[in-house]
């Protein structure tokens, strides 16, 4: 009997957790992109933030996934600490939906529900239909597992030792510690509450003991966000402190309520004879009441988090390691938005580095190798540009592995275009610097007319890189039409200066070596214009994609 009980319990737990994962994963795949768009554009309105946090968590059935996403958004600068507070409060409310769903007690229909869900998974080719089937099948599997756990634990009602052990949890400290520890291990308050409901359904535990375990489960669920904040910014870490503070404060309040008021009796009378519904109701009331109590004190919670983790000299953030941890996370909601934002920030730095090299290369041509930030600085920046191109290309490849909307895929493809063209601009800038080396080593010089033309090229290239920097920053001043006009101007200048060079060669006004170098300079100048236009077109396409997504979210 003992072995059968353990096997039945483990099998039921496995099905319950797998059903929970199926439901959550497929819900994220169906609704994730719309949800992350809403969060990305969230205002600072606290009531709206709570509603959005509750709604998203109710849909994806995982407060951990929502909180991990919020930590990532704060880390990447897409969301402020104050906005995160309201989302976290809402997420704690939304996570109670699972318990209420379990309280419906539709276990008899669970096999039928699982079968209905499996049909589109097996027989349909449409991805969306398969995801919807996965949601339905997950619900069915969850309830089958719930039933198996309840049935396997029935004999424990007659075990005096086990019943005595479970009654120990009526002690607030022991109950809270047990609930927190168990939830921290399985990293899901929804799942741990479901298991507690299974214990109650089988008659092994009463609400008197379960209530403190339930409070501890709310604390234990914070472990996922804590793990996600490792290697992030200080504000992202403060987000997890707020999440933990919310649940600790709520637990302290409700322990006091249970000690001085007949709270357990009220909850029992609210759903007499139904311990599963009683636990679901306590979970819901705990989170709604705590949110209502703390809603006016969001700013104070932020100050508390800042006091616990003050500003100071923090270790440099390892962006690459954090990115790898983000990709490895089992919570994929919002990952692509967070990652894309970070990559765009790194591309901005790459564009600035390429722009600096273009400017420095022309200065080196004019003023020689003694110019501050000369060939060595240019070479170092060029190497960094090349390494950044490889690193970011690898990151984009990893993001593309995740489920993406066609618009997200288009954005990532445009980012590939930007990276490749910025890297090529860096190469052309390096070529210009190497011409300066050749000129100095061979003691060459340009005619006054050629020198003036080089200054003209420098000015126009300066306009080009300035335009690219505006595009990378998302400036409203950026215009694709301006970029196209500038590229045409660079083509016209190249054609005109080539004619001038030929005329000077006919008159014997320049040497063969300087003529060759100058011709190559014109080629690099023209190519910089071509790559500048390619980058501008990619940023314009990304801007239009973002506008389309905003319109879709508003619709």
Do 332 and 408 meet the contact criterion of CB atoms below 8 Å apart? no
Domain match, 95 and 234 both: yes
Same domain, 375 and 412: yes
In a domain, 319, yes or no: no
Q: In this structure, what DSSP letter does residue 194 have?
A: H
Please identify, among 308, 325, 353, the residue that sits at the C-terminal boundary of a domain: 308
Q: What CATH code is carried by the domain that includes residue 477?
A: 1.20.58.220
Token pair of 473, please? 């920053």
Residues 152 and 277 both lie in one domain? yes
Q: Which domain holds residue 347?
A: 334-554
Give yes or no: residues 189 and 277 share one domain: yes
* pLDDT in 10s for each residue of the chain, 555 residues: 467 777 877 887 788 778 877 876 776 666 655 655 666 555 556 788 888 888 877 766 667 767 777 777 777 666 778 888 888 888 888 878 777 777 776 667 778 888 999 999 888 888 788 888 988 888 788 778 877 776 776 676 666 666 666 667 778 888 888 888 888 776 667 777 877 887 788 777 788 878 888 888 888 878 777 776 776 678 878 888 888 899 899 999 999 998 888 988 899 888 888 888 888 899 899 989 999 998 888 888 888 888 888 876 544 455 566 566 666 655 555 566 677 777 888 899 999 999 999 999 998 888 765 544 468 889 999 999 999 999 899 888 887 776 566 677 888 889 999 999 999 999 999 999 999 888 888 888 888 888 899 999 999 999 999 999 988 887 777 888 999 999 999 999 999 999 998 988 888 767 788 888 999 999 999 999 999 999 999 998 887 644 444 333 333
d(CA 191, CA 61): 10
Q: Is residue 314 part of a domain?
A: no
Same domain (yes/no): 348, 475: yes
Are 144 and 221 part of one and the same domain? yes
Q: Which one of 308, 326, 346 terminates a domain?
A: 308
**Do the beta carbons of residue 245 and residue 304 sit within 8 Å?**
yes
Intra-chain end-to-end CA distance of the chain, in Å: 58
In a domain, 128, yes or no: yes
Q: Is residue 322 a part of any domain in this protein?
A: no
pTM: 0.62
Q: Within a domain: residue 313?
A: no
206 and 73 fall within a common domain = yes
Residue 200 lies in a domain: yes
User: Can you give the pLDDT at residue 197?
Assistant: 81
Distance of CA 446 to CAs 57, 127, 287, 529, Å?
Answer: 68, 64, 76, 23
Do 409 and 262 lie in one domain? The reply is no
Cβ atoms 214, 222 nearer than 8 A? no
Structure tokens at 433: 């610097």
Q: How far is residue 3 from each of residues 6, 141, 165, 393, measured CA to CA in Å?
A: 5, 23, 20, 53
Residue 471 sits in the same domain as residue 376: yes
Cβ atoms within 10 A of the Cβ of 129, count?
Answer: 14
Looking at the structure, tell me whether residues 287 and 426 fall in a common domain: no
Residue 328, pLDDT score: 60
**Total number of domains constituting the chain:** 2
Backbone angles phi, psi at 400, to 5 degrees: -65, -20
CB 300 within 8 A of CB 85: no
Q: Which residue has the tokens 């768009």?
A: 37
* Residues 392, 459 share a domain: yes
């Amino acid at each position: 009997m003992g072995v059968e009980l353990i096997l039945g319990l483990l099998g039921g737990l496995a099905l319950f957790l797998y059903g929970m994962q199926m439901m959550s994963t497929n819900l994220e795949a169906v609704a994730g992109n719309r949800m992350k768009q809403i969060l990305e554009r969230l205002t600072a309105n606290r009531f709206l933030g709570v509603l959005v946090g509750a709604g998203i968590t109710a849909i994806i059935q995982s407060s951990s996934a929502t909180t991990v996403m919020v930590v990532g958004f704060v880390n990447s600068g897409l969301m402020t600490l104050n906005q995160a507070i309201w989302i976290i409060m809402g997420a704690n409310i939304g996570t109670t939906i699972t318990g209420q769903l379990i309280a419906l007690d539709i276990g008899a229909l669970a096999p039928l529900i699982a079968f209905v869900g499996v049909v589109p998974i097996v027989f349909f080719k449409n991805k969306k239909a398969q995801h919807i089937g996965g949601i339905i099948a997950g619900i069915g599997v969850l309830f089958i597992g719930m039933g198996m756990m309840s049935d396997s634990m029935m004999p424990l009602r007659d075990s005096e030792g086990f019943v005595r052990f479970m009654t120990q949890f009526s002690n607030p400290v022991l109950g809270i510690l047990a609930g927190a520890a168990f939830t921290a291990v399985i990293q899901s308050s929804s799942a741990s509450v479901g298991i507690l409901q299974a214990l109650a359904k089988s008659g092994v535990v009463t609400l008197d003991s379960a209530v403190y375990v339930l409070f501890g489960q709310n604390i234990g669920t914070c472990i996922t966000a804590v793990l996600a904040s490792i290697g992030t910014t200080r504000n992202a870490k403060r987000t997890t402190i707020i999440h933990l503070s919310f649940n600790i404060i709520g637990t302290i309040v409700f322990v006091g309520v249970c000690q001085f008021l007949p709270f357990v009796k009220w909850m029992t009378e609210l759903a007499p004879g139904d311990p599963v519904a009683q636990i679901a109701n306590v979970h819901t009331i705990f989170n709604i009441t705590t949110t209502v109590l703390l809603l006016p004190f969001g700013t104070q919670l932020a100050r508390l988090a800042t006091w616990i983790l003050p500003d100071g000299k923090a270790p440099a953030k390892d962006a690459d390691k954090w990115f790898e941890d983000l990709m490895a996370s089992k919570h994929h909601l919002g990952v692509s938005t967070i990652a894309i934002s970070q990559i765009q920030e790194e591309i901005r730095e790459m564009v600035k580095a390429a722009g600096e090299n273009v400017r420095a290369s022309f200065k080196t041509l004019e003023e020689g190798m003694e110019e501050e930030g000369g060939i060595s600085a240019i070479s170092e920046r060029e190497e960094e540009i090349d390494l950044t191109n490889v690193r970011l290309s690898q990151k984009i490849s990893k993001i593309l592995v995740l489920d993406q909307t066609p618009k997200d895929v288009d954005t990532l493809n445009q980012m590939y275009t930007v990276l490749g063209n910025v890297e090529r601009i860096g190469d052309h800038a390096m070529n210009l610097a190497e011409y300066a080396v050749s000129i100095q080593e061979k003691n060459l010089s340009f005619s006054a007319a050629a020198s003036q033309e080089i200054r003209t090229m420098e000015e126009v290239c300066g306009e080009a890189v300035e335009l690219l920097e505006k595009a990378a920053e998302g400036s409203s001043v950026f215009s694709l039409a301006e970029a196209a006009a500038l590229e045409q101007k660079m083509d016209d200048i190249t054609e005109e200066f080539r004619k001038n060079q030929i005329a000077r060669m006919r008159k014997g006004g320049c040497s063969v070596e300087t003529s060759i170098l100058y011709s190559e300079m014109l080629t690099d100048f023209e190519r910089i214009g071509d790559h500048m236009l390619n980058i501008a077109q990619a940023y314009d396409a990304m801007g239009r994609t973002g506008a389309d997504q905003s319109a879709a979210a508003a619709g």
